[in-house]
Amino acid sequence: MENANSFKFQKITIIGVGLIGGSFALALKKKKLCGHIVGFGRSEKNLKRAKNKKIIDSYELDPVTACKDSDLILFSTPVGFFLEIAKKIKNSLKPGAIVTDVGSVKGKLVYDIEKILPDKIYFVGGHPIAGSDQSGIDAASAEIFKNAKCIITPTGKTNKNAMKSIISIWKTLGSIVTIIDPYEHDRIYGAISHLPHVIAYNLVNTVAEIDSSYLLFSGQGFKDTTRIASSHHELWRDICILNRKNLLKYIEVFIKNLDEFKKHLKASDAKAIERDFINARNLREGLG
Amino acid sequence: MENANSFKFQKITIIGVGLIGGSFALALKKKKLCGHIVGFGRSEKNLKRAKNKKIIDSYELDPVTACKDSDLILFSTPVGFFLEIAKKIKNSLKPGAIVTDVGSVKGKLVYDIEKILPDKIYFVGGHPIAGSDQSGIDAASAEIFKNAKCIITPTGKTNKNAMKSIISIWKTLGSIVTIIDPYEHDRIYGAISHLPHVIAYNLVNTVAEIDSSYLLFSGQGFKDTTRIASSHHELWRDICILNRKNLLKYIEVFIKNLDEFKKHLKASDAKAIERDFINARNLREGLG
């Protein structure tokens, strides 16, 4: 059993109170891991709603005020805002504060945030695999991190105690924590998550371009294949841009393979098509 | 309420006793729409199993014997076998017999089958939208056609009474019947079903090529997007080849759009990327 007191925080700031930020706040409260939770975000309407729903205890419209005296700051906006926020708050953070995040991109971004934050502020990169096609506080729940993977991406500079605290939080929330190098994280999730999102968005747009009335004929297959195309456009815009190096390489491989398939199809090469399909089928069935 | 007797068949032959053929047999029995059901297929082991499970009443290893004296013959093998089977059985069918199918490709195939079958044999093309990534008789169930779409694809030559009987069957099994031109069917399902299958197979193979160990990190997003890559390779090989004209055109559109996205990504064009994602998101959310 973890000792909750060893990583209890008096004041916590959530930068971006949406599905993940809101769920983190709810889960911390449920586990009694926090004193006061302040929210910061772009929309006062959303922050008010979050306060009324008791997801946060108070809110601020200025990030510097929101982070003042905080023991733990969570970045949970779309990843494209992280550097800008880090720059804004860096000189007003309490020495010893821990900054962490829930971004789907790590790699260079982790090193860039580290460079911005002063010496006595401890950054720990994190990525709970708990997002979905849902977004916003109405979908927030204290339970979404239970049995979910959470990736922690330390660098050579990461403070060991801060990392221990962050790992303890996620474990207490029920997550399965894995430690991965920030760049390796982006190679993995670029392939298994970012590429599929691009493909799903592209598939919907392609069918609509062929004939949008055909969408009325969509069955469970099309719906499942494109479910993640309902994901939030700002989140995924930022993820794609920040992981574009890997993603561009992966899109090339995808197109190369699709071109290969096209050749087989043009030639009605049943053997080659079947071989490709069997290969994919065996791999996919292995995932359950 | 339909009058079941008006389209009750004394002897029915199921050519290809798998998920759909087996489910059709079970559903007919449940609704008491048939006398005796004979199964035909490539694997005696499978036919024996189907008989033991009381999905079929008897089986034959020769299609001609299987179809002898049958009032209704259902083609439910992979679509690539339909013409071969039609040629084999054409001269031994009972005059007045109805032949129908459950193939995912219609178009030219419907006209080709019509040409092969003699004058007093009535062909009605059909496509119940009830397939899944499951296959085989163990997944067969009398319930899979309930509330499922079923497309009927008549030609100028289709016998009106035979079509009425087939429509009555599907309605009695709970399906929602829609009548569509055979070629239009292939344009629609090429886009909304066949293209997504190709994309899902290609996505699994692409991630495996990037690094097969990354598959271990797959979450719900990847699993949903690639669920249909578990679909039966022979079925989908045949579907792709028979609908290759539409499919080749659609793959071109898909690649064109993906190339466009690549350009935006290379240029970190946040506006263009967001516009594409919003467009897809709105369309996808409209499907529920």
Residue B237 has pLDDT above 90, yes or no: yes
Lookup result for tokens 């069935």? A285
A283:B212 CB<8 A: yes
Q: Please, is B270 exposed, middle or buried when counting C-beta atoms within 10 Å of its C-beta (0-12, 13-18, 19+)?
A: middle
- Among the listed residues A45, A79, A75, A46, the one whose alpha carbon sits nearest the alpha carbon of residue A63: A75
CA distance readout (Å), B50 to B41, B53, B63, B137, B158:
11, 5, 17, 7, 32
CB distance from A258 to chain B under 8 Å? yes
Beta-carbon contacts below 8 Å between A and B: 272
Decide if B219 touches A, using CB distance below 8 A. Answer: yes
Is the confidence at residue B1, as pLDDT, over 60?
Answer: no
Indicate the pLDDT class of residue B8, thresholds 50, 70 and 90. confident
B233 contact residues in A (CB cutoff 8 A): 274, 277-278, 281
Q: A285 at the B interface (CB within 8 A)?
A: yes
Nearest-by-Cβ selection for B280 from A211, A229, A281: A229
Asked if residues A133 and A227 have their Cβ atoms less than 8 Å apart, the reply is yes
DSSP sequence for A132-171: -S--SGGG--TTTTTT-EEEE---TT--HHHHHHHHHHHH
- Give B3's contacts (C-beta < 8 A, 6+ positions apart): none
The pLDDT, as a whole number, for residue B135 is 85
Q: Are A128 and A102 in contact (CB under 8 A)?
A: yes
Per CB-CB distance under 8 Å, the chain A contacts of B261 are 198, 202, 251
Residues 46-105 of B with CB under 8 A from A: 80
Q: Residue A6's pLDDT is what?
A: 54
pLDDT at B2 over 60: no
Say yes or no to pLDDT of B247 above 60.
Answer: yes
Q: Is the pLDDT of residue A4 over 90?
A: no
| Cβ pair B276:A201 closer than 8 A | yes
CATH number assigned to the domain covering B4-181: 3.40.50.720
Tell whether B267 is within 8 A of chain A (Cβ).
Answer: no
Q: Give the mutation candidate from A202, A249, A266 for the B interface (greatest B CB count, under 10 A).
A: A202
CB of A209 within 8 Å of any CB in chain B? yes
d(C-alpha A246, C-alpha A128), whole Å: 20
From residue A7, give the alpha-carbon distance in Å to each of A37, A102, B44, B201: 15, 18, 65, 45
Edge-first strand listing for the sheet containing B149-152: B126-128, B149-152, B176-179
Asked if A206 reaches chain B (Cβ–Cβ under 8 Å), the answer is yes
Residue B45 DSSP SS3: helix
Are β-strands A149-152 and A126-128 bridged in parallel, bridged antiparallel, or unpaired?
A: antiparallel
Which chain A residue's Cα is nearest to B230? A281
**A136: its two tokens:** 């916003």
Closest Cβ–Cβ partner in A204, A222, A233 for B193:
A222
* Range with the poorest average pLDDT among B84-88, B97-101, B128-132, B179-183: B128-132
CATH topology of domain B184-285: 6-phosphogluconate dehydrogenase C-terminal fold (1.10.3660)
CB A21 within 8 A of CB A15: yes
Instruction: Report the sign of the C-alpha dihedral through residues B173, B175, B177, B178, in that order.
Output: negative
> pLDDT averaged over chain B?
95
Inter-chain CB proximity B259 and A262 less than 8 Å: no
Q: Which secondary-structure segment (H or E) carries A187?
A: helix A182-189
The model's pLDDT over A37-59, given as tens digits with 9 standing for 90+, comes to: 999 999 999 999 999 999 999 99
Q: Where are the domains of chain B?
A: 4-181, 184-285
Could B241 and A195 be called an inter-chain contact, meaning their C-beta atoms sit closer than 8 Å?
no
Chain B contact for A282 (CB, 8 A cutoff): no
Cα–Cα dist A229/B283, whole Å: 9
B149 touches chain A (CB under 8 A): yes
A154 vs A238: CA distance, rounded Å: 22
ipTM for the predicted complex comes to: 0.93
Beta strands (DSSP E) in B67-201 are 72-75, 98-101, 122-124, 126-128, 149-152, 176-179
Residue B126: helix, strand or coil by DSSP?
A: strand
pLDDT in tens, B207-221: 999 999 999 999 999
From the list A129, A204, A210, which residue is nearest B283 (CB)? A204
